Structure 1
Amino acid sequence: MKTMELVFLLIFFPVTLSVKHSLKLLVTTSSGVKNFPDYVVVGLVDEVPTGYCDSIINTVEGKQDWSQKMFEDDPQHLEWYTQRCLLHQYEYKDQIDILKQQLNQTEATCNPLWDLTLLSDSLSGVHIFQKMNGCEWDDETGEVNGFVQYGYDGEDFIAFDLKTLTWIAPKQQAVITKHKWDKDRAQNERWNYYLTQQCPELVKRYLDLGKSSLLRTELPSVSLLQKTPSSPVSCHATGLYPHRAMMFWRKDGEELHEDVEHGEILPNHDGSFQMSVDLNLSSVTPEDWRRYECVFHLSGVKDDIVTKLDKAVIRTNCEFPAGPVIGGVVGLLLLAVCITGVFIWRRRDNGFRPANSSDSSSSDPSSVKDAALN
């Protein structure tokens, strides 16, 4: 499980010039969600939406200039991805129907695709079936991490262990599926080849095609914000790129973990990102403020941005910069439109929860046979 923990953490790196690049494919099948495609595929390169397909448009769209040009220059590449999108949506729709039918059963039923047991007490309502696969490649060490994971209604269901070429069943209900898939050695070897060979090569190819945007580095502007004199002080960075960054408060040179709250990294309307970290000063005397500072680190950049806690530079509620805030809202809306509101996994403690996000897809970027469907 330690390997899976590392794969699904947000990419926060130590101070190093080494950068990890990733390619991810997210598939979401839903039931009972109104005004939402019941099948959505999203592809991400370094967490940037690059391609998208759903059951309404039934074709793959490039979501970046370079990915759209790639499809225009290689129609066969686009056609292959589109066919994958079309074929898989019917297979995944069947799976969620099977799951719903089995919700009131206590024993696994036999079907050609899945051996699943009781997952819910309700036959109706909203249900979400998800798959996430892809790889991470370290551009300095060459290290590769691959992952394949399935979830149902926002929780882990089964995942591939690349070290042992076997499946991990975090839920008892998935044990039968694990045993069945473990026996398919040929399919697991195909996953191994795709995750360790094909996927990293695709990462390199896409980075080369989109290097003008994907490999750029932009340092943010950092401000200290506070709503009221008794509110936490927020260290806010906006305009950063890429999103692989970390931000923290420290006291006397030591990182703080208590009285600190980290916000999510959010997109701006211009493609950059913003993030913040709050410090609760209720137990800090004014004389001790000088001992605190906010540190921003961008992956691949040697020097950090350090901002001293100084009451004179704190911007109050009425002085909050409208640009970053509006930019973040607009960015979120554009990102939501990009994927029509797809559900994806976000790591939280030991499980997953559905979250709104936006990503895109270049359909399953390999000729490997889908291990979940065969």
Structure 2
Amino acid sequence: MKNNSQTNANMQTAVILLCGIHLSYAATHSLQYFYTAVTRDINFPEFTAVGLVDNGQFMYFDSNTMKAVPKTEWIGQNEGADYWDRQTQGLIGAHQVYKNNIQVAKERFNQSTGVHTFQNMYGCEWDDETGATNGFNQDGYDGEDFLNLDLKHQTWISPVPQGVITTQKWNKNKADLDYRKQYLNTVCIESLKKYLQYGKSSLEKTVSPQVSLLQKDSSSSVTCHATGFYPSGVTITWMKNGEEHHEDVELGELLPNEDGTFQKTSTLTVTPDEWKNNKFSCLVEHKGINREENEIRTNNGNSLPIGIIVGVIVAVVLLVGMAGIGYKIYQKKKKDFKPVSGSDDGSNSSAPA
């Protein structure tokens, strides 16, 4: 995310920056897809789909354009028109399924009006050092957990009573459960490795974070803001007098920047006296060269204002609310869902509820 000097006047940053960056390497890679359906009551596509490799977006689809498109050079250069046609057709079908899913969910929650969202996230992880793999598939309704696939036991579970009727039906479909296990454990991993090879030069780049301590005024909490780093694996730890400090600490979400890098925050709440009488520092661990900084950031400095961070969160809600590609689509039958086959070439298509 680029700096925006117009918001700097809202910030007073007069705290000492004490941060270290040390070598750290996350060997785990991920392939994720997000589907999001929304009701028609807002100015936003009623269905969106996003695909991510190592938390970086590489494809996109929405119900306004009705077309799956590449979002990185490496996927656009390695997959041709047939690939994108298949993704487009699968997601057009998913759009119809999700329109239905959100209506069924509204009925189950006894809702007739208001803005509502139905989301699915699925994908896999692979550790390139140990070879360990993991798969996941979960649904959410209005930002809360709705359905989750326990891959180890091949069982759908729901934390809410409105989802139990679906788990009962889906858990009887052993063929579908076997298919999902095979996809997440094998096909998804193969696709992830293929995409990593496609984007080898860009995905293996390393950019160290810029780290700032930000504070609105002397009595407010202090935010450690790390931004501009790639890959996404980062650890932020507060230190107090040389020891790790975990009390009154709130860790923020990992957020994407416009240039493909990432940012993350960790906020410490302490009294002015406690801050004054102790030596607090923020330790950021990321793959990169060692760096130690000790300087004061002011309104004229190049740290990113909290106002921009908050603005980015809104954008990420939209990003994380999208996603997908072919994976097994569910269609409604007699006011419920029935699994049907979807496209499957490196991805899979899922539509829960």
Please indicate, yes or no, whether the TM-score normalized by the shorter chain is above 0.5: yes
Read off the aligned partner of 2:302 and give its amino acid letter: P
Secondary structure, counterpart of 1:217 in structure 2: coil
* Residues 14-53 of structure 1 mapped to structure 2, 5 A cutoff: 17-53=25-61
CA-to-aligned-CA distance 1:245-299 (integer Å, 9 cap, x gap): 121211243321123333333333322223333333524263532xx3221011x
Q: Structure 1: where are the runs of 5+ without partners? A: 1-14, 103-117, 342-354
Q: Kindly state the Cα deviation for residue 331 of structure 1 after the two structures are TM-superposed.
A: 9.5
Hey, what's the Cα distance between the residues in 1 that align with 2:211 and 2:44?
A: 37
Secondary structure, counterpart of 1:216 in structure 2: coil
1:294 is aligned, of 259, 278, 282, to 282
Hey, what's the Cα distance between the residues in 2 that align with 1:373 and 1:247?
A: 35
Distance change in 2, residues 1:327/1:23 (3 Å): farther
1:315 is aligned, of 267, 286, 297, to 297
Q: Kindly state the Cα deviation for residue 234 of structure 1 after the two structures are TM-superposed.
A: 3.3
Distance change in 2, residues 1:361/1:32 (3 Å): closer
Query: Does the CA-based 8 Å contact 1:190-1:369 persist in structure 2?
Result: no
1:78 is aligned, of 75, 84, 88, to 84
Hey, what's the Cα distance between the residues in 2 that align with 1:373 and 1:227?
A: 43
Hey, what's the Cα distance between the residues in 2 that align with 1:33 and 1:27?
A: 18
* Residues 212-231 of structure 1 mapped to structure 2, 5 A cutoff: 212-231=201-220
Q: Kindly state the Cα deviation for residue 23 of structure 1 after the two structures are TM-superposed.
A: 0.7
Hey, what's the Cα distance between the residues in 2 that align with 1:271 and 1:37?
A: 23
2:235 is aligned, of 222, 236, 246, to 246
Read off the aligned partner of 1:195 and give its amino acid letter: L
Secondary structure, counterpart of 1:28 in structure 2: strand
Distance change in 2, residues 1:252/1:32 (3 Å): same
* Residues 107-118 of structure 1 mapped to structure 2, 5 A cutoff: 118=108
Query: Does the CA-based 8 Å contact 2:326-2:350 persist in structure 1?
Result: no
Query: Does the CA-based 8 Å contact 1:41-1:53 persist in structure 2?
Result: yes
Q: Kindly state the Cα deviation for residue 41 of structure 1 after the two structures are TM-superposed.
A: 1.0
Distance change in 2, residues 1:263/1:371 (3 Å): closer
Secondary structure, counterpart of 1:151 in structure 2: strand
Secondary structure, counterpart of 1:356 in structure 2: helix
Q: Kindly state the Cα deviation for residue 119 of structure 1 after the two structures are TM-superposed.
A: 1.5
Distance change in 2, residues 1:285/1:247 (3 Å): closer
Hey, what's the Cα distance between the residues in 2 that align with 1:326 and 1:80?
A: 42
1:357 is aligned, of 319, 323, 327, to 319
Greater shift after overlay, 188-197 or 91-100? 91-100
Q: Kindly state the Cα deviation for residue 191 of structure 1 after the two structures are TM-superposed.
A: 0.2
Hey, what's the Cα distance between the residues in 2 that align with 1:294 and 1:83?
A: 48
Distance change in 2, residues 1:269/1:154 (3 Å): closer
Number of matched pairs? 314
Hey, what's the Cα distance between the residues in 2 that align with 1:145 and 1:188?
A: 16
Q: In structure 1, what is the equivalent of residue 334 of structure 2?
A: none
Question: Are 2:162 and 1:173 aligned?
Answer: yes
Larger RCO (CA under 8 A, 6+ residues apart): 2
Q: In structure 2, what is the equivalent of residue 195 of structure 1?
A: 184
Q: In structure 2, what is the equivalent of residue 109 of structure 1?
A: none
% same residue: 40
CA-to-aligned-CA distance 1:46-76 (integer Å, 9 cap, x gap): 11111011111111111111122233xx221
Distance change in 2, residues 1:325/1:285 (3 Å): closer
With the length of structure 2 as denominator, give the TM-score of the two structures.
0.78
Q: Kindly state the Cα deviation for residue 170 of structure 1 after the two structures are TM-superposed.
A: 1.1
Question: Are 2:272 and 1:282 aligned?
Answer: yes
Q: In structure 2, what is the equivalent of residue 7 of structure 1?
A: none
With the length of structure 1 as denominator, give the TM-score of the two structures.
0.74
2:244 is aligned, of 255, 270, 292, to 255
Greater shift after overlay, 275-284 or 124-133? 275-284
Query: Does the CA-based 8 Å contact 1:43-1:362 persist in structure 2?
Result: yes
2:149 is aligned, of 160, 185, 194, to 160
Secondary structure, counterpart of 1:357 in structure 2: helix
Read off the aligned partner of 1:286 and give its amino acid letter: K
Hey, what's the Cα distance between the residues in 1 that align with 2:36 and 2:112?
A: 19
Q: Structure 2: where are the runs of 5+ without partners? A: 1-22, 328-343
Secondary structure, counterpart of 2:153 in structure 1: coil
Read off the aligned partner of 1:77 and give its amino acid letter: Y
